[in-house]
Amino acid sequence: MSDSTVAQQLYSPLNQIHLDAGASFTDFAGWQMPVRYSSDLAEHHAVRACAALFDLSHMGEILVLGPEAADALDYALAGKLSTIAVGQAKYSLLLARDGGIIDDLVVYRTGEDRYLVVANASNRDVVAAELLDRCSPFECEVQDESDDIALIAIQGPRALEILQELPGLHVAGLAELRYYWSVAGMFGEHAVLLARTGYTGEDGFELYLAPEAAPALWEALAETGAGSGLVPAGLASRDTLRLEAGMPLYGHELGLDIFPAQAGLARVVNLSKEGDFVGRAPIEAQSADAEMRVLVGLRSSGKRAGRAGYEIFADATSTAPVGLITSGALSPTLGYPIAMAYVDPKCADVGAELFIDVRGTRVAASVTPLPFYKRESN
């Protein structure tokens, strides 16, 4: 956000472990984070077939606590957070006053008057500032705890069994924990919040804990999971995994110029909740407007993937684009190119045949339902 943070390189508490593992790094919102350890594809396949570890310590964690924390979040966010149970989590949006999307969030209710709001790293400051502002009329406090919370995700079909074997982890009811629920526990002498959430389309868990405890947890997980095929995985594979799972990424599918309905997230905006919330009026006013581009999935044959920023056309020769790709890759799991794109509503029906301009060549693509990939045991 501020100029003073631009020059400052931020490091995960796991940075030394990544260096020792020979990771390649990328800058992500000022953080030096692993982009891959060995191979993007191997790390991607490990998540689908066994399990992988992700360091997500760059994510923002903001606490909202106090007697009116639930009411405050009902006003500040698009969803109704007051009705989720203690232990439950909810995907939500922080809307701008004009209804655009400031960030997408996962909100964990960790107590009757206690919530943990997890924001994208690039939006941490703006989310914290907006929450502070929006919650100020309510009896609650907003605390940006990002510097004091590390986050490790273990994702993949074998994630549960690895956690069950993890020495030092004490969590009640781990196997019974439902998707989008969390439970407080201990790792050694450190408190840990363990949630059955993720961003890969696979079963998995996310573990929030103090930065000083993160290296020991990472190494214990790596050691325990080694026999199950667990590998560390970087942000490159995380991106192809979430794309296959049809999950939006802020800055690609989501942004200030995107309304939730365009992104297929109308269900996340709870217009039936009583009372006002930020972004409600403009979203209610626009519901009849059908001219906005909408998010669709595209698949094509061959190997040439449309990528973010590539234009979409209705036929092989027209010069006026009907859409724009926001994310795209050759799907490692499916073997064909996939993309998410915003297209004109008249082109958005499943089965519509469109063309992607791949660096000057028009590549045929058809509109396909999201997600591209869904795990079998859903």
The footprint of another protein (CB under 8 A) covers 24, 35-36, 39-42, 44, 236, 239-240, 303-305, 307, 329-330, 332, 359
Minimum distance from CB of 240 to another protein (Å)? Answer: 5
**What is the strand order of the sheet 24-28 is part of?**
10-11, 31-36, 24-28
Q: What are phi and psi of 32, to 5 degrees?
A: -85, 105
Minimum distance from CB of 301 to another protein (Å)? Answer: 13
Is residue 129 within 8 Å of 74, Cβ to Cβ? no
Q: Name which of 272, 365, 258 is nearest 316 in CA terms.
A: 365
Q: Are β-strands 182-187 and 190-195 bridged in parallel, bridged antiparallel, or unpaired?
A: antiparallel
**Nearer to another protein among residue 24 and residue 136 (C-beta):** 24
Minimum distance from CB of 35 to another protein (Å)? Answer: 8
**Nearer to another protein among residue 132 and residue 308 (C-beta):** 308
Minimum distance from CB of 357 to another protein (Å)? Answer: 13
Encoding tokens for residue 207? 């573990």
DSSP assigned state of 371: P
Q: Name which of 91, 93, 100, 29 is nearest 255 in CA terms.
A: 100
Minimum distance from CB of 208 to another protein (Å)? Answer: 28
**Nearer to another protein among residue 37 and residue 75 (C-beta):** 37
Cα angle vertex 173, ends 171, 179, to 5°? 100
**Nearer to another protein among residue 277 and residue 373 (C-beta):** 373
**Nearer to another protein among residue 38 and residue 366 (C-beta):** 38
**Nearer to another protein among residue 232 and residue 279 (C-beta):** 232
Minimum distance from CB of 124 to another protein (Å)? Answer: 24
DSSP assigned state of 56: -
Q: What is the DSSP string of 238-278?
A: HHHHHHHTT---BTTTB-TT--TTTTT-GGGS-TTSSS--T
**Nearer to another protein among residue 92 and residue 331 (C-beta):** 331
**Nearer to another protein among residue 115 and residue 199 (C-beta):** 199
**Nearer to another protein among residue 303 and residue 378 (C-beta):** 303
Contacts 24+ apart (CB under 8 A), 319-322: 321/357, 322/346, 322/347, 322/354
Which ranges in 101-258 belong to alpha helices (H)? Answer: 124-135, 159-165, 214-225, 235-244
Minimum distance from CB of 155 to another protein (Å)? Answer: 17
Can you tell me the distance from the alpha carbon of 101 to that of 95, in angstroms, rounded to the nearest whole number?
5
Can you tell me the distance from the alpha carbon of 263 to that of 296, in angstroms, rounded to the nearest whole number?
8
Minimum distance from CB of 243 to another protein (Å)? Answer: 10
Minimum distance from CB of 46 to another protein (Å)? Answer: 13
